[in-house]
Amino acid sequence: MNLADKKVVVIGLGKRTGVAAAEFLVKQKAEVVVSDIKSADELQNELGELADYEIDFDLGGHSSKVTDNTDLIVVSPGVPSDIPILEKAQSLGIPVISEIELAYHFCSAPIMAITGTNGKTTTTTLTGEIFTVAQEEVKIRGNIGYPLIEDITSLTDKGVVVAEISSFQLENIRDFRPKISLILNLTPDHLNRHGTFEDYIAAKKKIFINQTESDYTVLNYDDELTRGLADETGGEVIYFSQQSRLNHGIYAAEGKIINNLTADNEPLIQIDETGIKGPHNLENALGAVVIALLRGIDVKIIRKVLQEFSGIEHRIEEVATIEGIKYINDSKATNPAAAIKALETFSAPITLIAGGMDKKAELTDFAFKIEENVQNLILLGETAEKIEESVTEFRFSNIKQVDSISEAVKEAEEVSVKGSIVLLAPGCASWDMFGSYKERGNRFKKEVMELRRK
């Protein structure tokens, strides 16, 4: 892809991706325009990062600059595909691609692309750590916080990219083709963006749409929807499972992770030796093991990393134990399925803090799990009323609505007893009250530490 002297428009400057794409395009000698609905005042930090580059900015809306004599449009993940300016561009025949598609065309290294509704970040981080310990030339990129395009040309074909890929990023791919794709699970999410669960799945499936028989598609055998995608990929399908002994793949049985992929049903590690706990983390570990084995990583290295890797911030993160009450930060549980997995991790009595931005998710299963596993429920955010209505249908009544994380933590301390758990697992996005799940999680941790100072 030769972009020299081509007019390329980047739509969406926030969340780091737009900045990275614009920087890259300038270095490719493209004529770069950046368009965003936000004003210059709202984008001061991003504009500061691009101050040294020759870029034409189109801010406060999308003008005709976006489509006039434009050769290519690169869309940031947060920009919906159905906005009027993109519909106009497509009607004019202007190619519209995502940042990961752009990066793919300039990446010499094979890409390990990881997606799914839940577990992507943990699996990507764990896989990247395995490659790092194996002294591979590795870049950990994508939806994990570092755009795929960032520094992509520094890798040779001897390196490897481990990338967390979201449904938003997959919407506008054309040729993107990972060497190994992994789909962990599929449950309804981002329906406020995709409209229907079917459209969400269609976006996720694009991760393997260009794979051929020389590539691998790794699927969760235990997830019926994920398993059912096997016939739709051109890649060689490899399964992993917690529930079934596989004829070919990686599975869990009798308290062990079993390698029946590069060995003959050989135990790789005792599950209780792994650093990350819970069924959801076992799922993540199995997926990472498949990728590592397919790339020829030594079993001893895989075992060592599985023993030492303790997880990621904001995912079942133990914050503190105060007066016998354990506080757990799972702010990354941004949909009901993730929150359910968090609730299933603990056997102690739970005070749950939940609620946030409404992504139009179905709440029945979440409400049932709350009735089954939770003693006290504290709700906040856009979905507070909606969640309360759902759980009261199951005759659950220990509910309190609050206006802030600070109030939620104080209320949780009051109603919880020694030996119990206060769990932040919102089951919703953070954007109604916070800039990100990380900001929400950090606020929770700050409020918990304030309790310790009392």
**Are 59 and 35 in contact, with CB atoms under 8 Å apart?**
yes
Asked if residue 121 belongs to a known ligand binding site, the reply is: yes
Residue 135's pLDDT band (boundaries 50, 70, 90)?
Answer: confident
Q: Which two tokens stand for residue 168?
A: 């938003």
Within a domain: 369: yes
Within a domain: 2: no
* H/E run at residue 252: strand 249-253
Give the mean model confidence (pLDDT) for residues 277-283: 89
Give the mean model confidence (pLDDT) for residues 13-41: 94
Same domain, 178 and 76: no
Maximum Cα–Cα distance across the chain: 67
Q: What is the pLDDT of residue 110?
A: 97
Summarised one tens digit per residue, pLDDT across range 422-447 is 999 999 999 999 999 999 999 999 99
Same domain, 22 and 37: yes
pLDDT for residue 188 is more than 80: no
**Listed residues 278, 308, 338: the one ending a domain:** 308
**Non-local CB neighbours of 107 within 8 Å, separated by 6+ positions:** 148, 152, 153, 155, 161
What's the CATH code of the domain at 49? Answer: 3.40.50.720
Asked if residue 117 belongs to a known ligand binding site, the reply is: yes
**Listed residues 308, 327, 354: the one ending a domain:** 308
Query: What is the distance of C-alpha 167 from the center of its chain?
Result: 9
Of 162, 315, 294, 302, the residue nearest 238 (C-alpha): 294
- Amino acid 341 reads K
Same domain, 330 and 299: no
The Cα–Cα gap between 124 and 414 comes to 38
Rg (alpha carbons) of the chain, rounded to whole number:
23
| DSSP conformational letter for 210 | T
Same domain, 143 and 266: yes
Q: Which two tokens stand for residue 70?
A: 């434009």
Q: Is residue 224 classed exposed, middle or buried when 0-12, 13-18 and 19+ CB atoms within 10 A define those classes?
A: exposed
Same domain, 49 and 116: no
Residue 15's pLDDT band (boundaries 50, 70, 90)?
Answer: confident
The Cα–Cα gap between 58 and 36 comes to 7
The Cα–Cα gap between 378 and 410 comes to 10
**Are 187 and 117 in contact, with CB atoms under 8 Å apart?**
yes
Q: Which two tokens stand for residue 306?
A: 């599985």
Q: Which two tokens stand for residue 73?
A: 């449009």
**Non-local CB neighbours of 195 within 8 Å, separated by 6+ positions:** none
Domain around 47: 7-94
Q: Which two tokens stand for residue 245?
A: 């002994």
The Cα–Cα gap between 12 and 76 comes to 5
Name the more confident of 190 and 222.
222
What's the CATH code of the domain at 353? Answer: 3.90.190.20
What's the mean pLDDT when you consider all of the chain? 95
Same domain, 171 and 236: yes
Give the mean model confidence (pLDDT) for residues 335-346: 92
Residue 78's pLDDT band (boundaries 50, 70, 90)?
Answer: confident
Asked if residue 122 belongs to a known ligand binding site, the reply is: yes
Same domain, 17 and 140: no
pLDDT for residue 4 is more than 80: yes
- Report the number of distinct structural domains present in the chain: 3
Tokens 């906005």 correspond to 83
Of 306, 269, 20, the residue nearest 142 (C-alpha): 20
Asked if residue 118 belongs to a known ligand binding site, the reply is: yes
Summarised one tens digit per residue, pLDDT across range 293-324 is 999 999 999 999 999 998 889 989 999 999 99
pTM of structure: 0.83
Tokens 């570092």 correspond to 146
Q: What is the pLDDT of residue 347?
A: 87
Same domain, 349 and 395: yes
Q: What is the pLDDT of residue 278?
A: 83
Asked if residue 69 belongs to a known ligand binding site, the reply is: no
**Listed residues 244, 278, 308: the one ending a domain:** 308
Give the mean model confidence (pLDDT) for residues 239-244: 98
Same domain, 81 and 221: no
Within a domain: 346: yes
pLDDT for residue 191 is more than 80: no
* H helix count then E strand count, the chain: 16, 20
What's the CATH code of the domain at 144? Answer: 3.40.1190.10
Same domain, 284 and 364: no
Within a domain: 284: yes
Summarised one tens digit per residue, pLDDT across range 99-117 is 999 999 999 999 999 999 9
Within a domain: 1: no
**Non-local CB neighbours of 357 within 8 Å, separated by 6+ positions:** 381, 382, 383, 428, 429, 430, 431, 432, 433
SS3 254: coil
Q: What is the pLDDT of residue 30?
A: 98
Report the side by side order of strands in the sheet with 399-401.
317-322, 325-329, 421-424, 350-354, 374-379, 399-401
Same domain, 446 and 327: yes
Give the mean model confidence (pLDDT) for residues 406-411: 98
Summarised one tens digit per residue, pLDDT across range 200-234 is 999 999 999 999 999 999 999 999 999 999 999 99
Within a domain: 364: yes
Tell me the torsion sign for CA atoms 54, 44, 190, 221.
positive
Same domain, 257 and 146: yes
Asked if residue 192 belongs to a known ligand binding site, the reply is: no
Residue 189's pLDDT band (boundaries 50, 70, 90)?
Answer: confident
Summarised one tens digit per residue, pLDDT across range 342-397 is 999 898 999 999 999 988 889 999 999 999 999 999 999 999 999 999 999 999 99
Q: Which two tokens stand for residue 19?
A: 């900045």
